[in-house]
Amino acid sequence: MTASQPETLIADILKRRSLVGLGEIHWCPQVMAAITTLLESPALEGTFDDIVVEFGSERHQTWLDRYISGEDMEEAGLDAVWHDTLYFLLWSPPVYAEFFRRIRAVNLKRSPERRVRVVLAEPSIDWETLDGETFARWHEQRERAYAERIEQEVLGSGRRAVLVFGLRHLTHHSLSGARYMPLAERLIKHYPGIIELIHPYHAEKGVFSSDYLSQDVRHNGLMIPVASESSDGPAMIDHIWYLGVLKRRIVLPDALFTDTAWLATVVARLQQLGEEHLMRARKMMTAPQQGIFDACLARHECSSHRDPRL
């Protein structure tokens, strides 16, 4: 099968589709860095209007629009974009904040009419009132909310966009045993032929296309098409992107544990959500990080039980 340069393939797709889905692998910064570099390419200038991302809350869309367009904004506001999401720990590796900075830098080099917009896909939530039950409800509703956001901000205005979401959101069909219809499938049901999907190849994560698990996909950074059918039925995606050997390690960055104010907020939020969320977070920490986290947790518990009359 013919392999294509990523810039060439995406430009060609956007001549016939309104959307391209670029699958991202969480806890594998190499993938997000490659996606950012690709979207910076001068060869793609003018081929799309928007980049829709999973890792940001629409509560901060107005602020981000000004920042991404090149206005002089306080850098501290950038943290709130991903801090106020349901999955803020997932977005704590610096590669996500760096994406926003780099797209802003690209826009500053372009004329205003050629600048891209970054659309934040996650609905606005209120961490002041969130608990484990409401968190679960938001989690269940997220695929529908993502699709509605794309319809409102992109498709309803006749714009073209690149979607950057985790692999499981970007499949043509639901995975076996899945409880929710994925984002891409929802979009396709309402807009047949609206999107083509690209996944980075990763031996551990798979590519949701059994055709290619046993075939050689190593084409040095190029993208190759998948077969339209496999022994398991229609292909889940359209193209595979080989980025070399990808290293995936689920561990929180040390910077989270040196920012005492943010760490205290993280602890408070996890306590609101309950013991299950606390334990899940601790599994993403190294032993030294756990020590810092537990000390902060103890201080928070002590403070919350202190007699308010004292």
Mention every residue, 6+ apart, whose C-beta is less than 8 A from residue 47: 10, 11, 14, 160
3-state secondary structure of 197: strand
Helix (H, G, I), strand (E, B) or coil at 50: strand
Of 195, 214, 241, the residue that ends a domain is: 241
Would you say residue 122 lies in a domain? yes
Residue 249 domain-assigned?
no
The answer on 93 and 235 residing in a single domain is yes
Whether the CB-CB separation of 38 and 179 falls below 8 Å is answered with no
pLDDT band at 99 (very low <50, low <70, confident <90, very high): very high
Is residue 181, in this structure, part of any structural domain at all? yes
Q: Which of 241, 265, 296 is the last residue of a domain?
A: 241
Distance separating alpha carbons of residues 64 and 78, to the nearest angstrom:
8
**222 and 109 together in one domain:** yes
Please write the tens of the pLDDT for every residue from 29-49: 999 999 999 999 999 999 999
Q: Are 172 and 197 in contact (CB under 8 A)?
A: yes
Q: Which of 193, 215, 241 is the last residue of a domain?
A: 241
Whichever domain contains 15, its CATH number is: 3.40.50
* Within-domain flag for 250: no
The model's confidence at residue 301, banded by pLDDT at 50, 70 and 90, is confident
Residue 113 and residue 218 in one domain: yes
Tell me the two tokens of residue 3.
């392999």
Per the model's pLDDT, the better-predicted residue between 230 and 218 turns out to be 218
Q: What band does 254 get if pLDDT is binned at 50, 70 and 90? A: very high
1 in a structural domain: no
Are 186 and 285 in a shared domain? no
Residue found by looking up tokens 């032993």 in the block: 287
Do 68 and 34 fall within a single domain?
yes
Q: Could you tell me if residue 223 is inside a domain?
A: yes
Asked if residue 214 has pLDDT above 60, the reply is no
Kindly state whether residues 279 and 187 are assigned to the same domain: no
pLDDT at 115: 97
**Do 154 and 25 fall within a single domain?**
yes
Both 202 and 299 in one domain: the answer is: no
Is residue 68 one of the residues assigned to a domain? yes
Mean pLDDT of the chain: 91
What does the DSSP 8-state code read for residue 1?
A: -
Same domain, 175 and 274: no
Query: pTM here?
Result: 0.94
Number of domains comprising the chain: 2
**Of residues 219, 238, 217, 242, the one with CA closest to residue 227:** 238
Q: Are residues 181 and 266 in the same domain?
A: no
Looking at the fold, whether 163 and 280 belong to one and the same domain comes out as no
Q: Is residue 196 part of a domain?
A: yes
**One domain for residues 62 and 164:** yes
Residue 51 domain boundaries: 6-241
- What's the pLDDT band for 237 if we cut at 50, 70, 90? very high
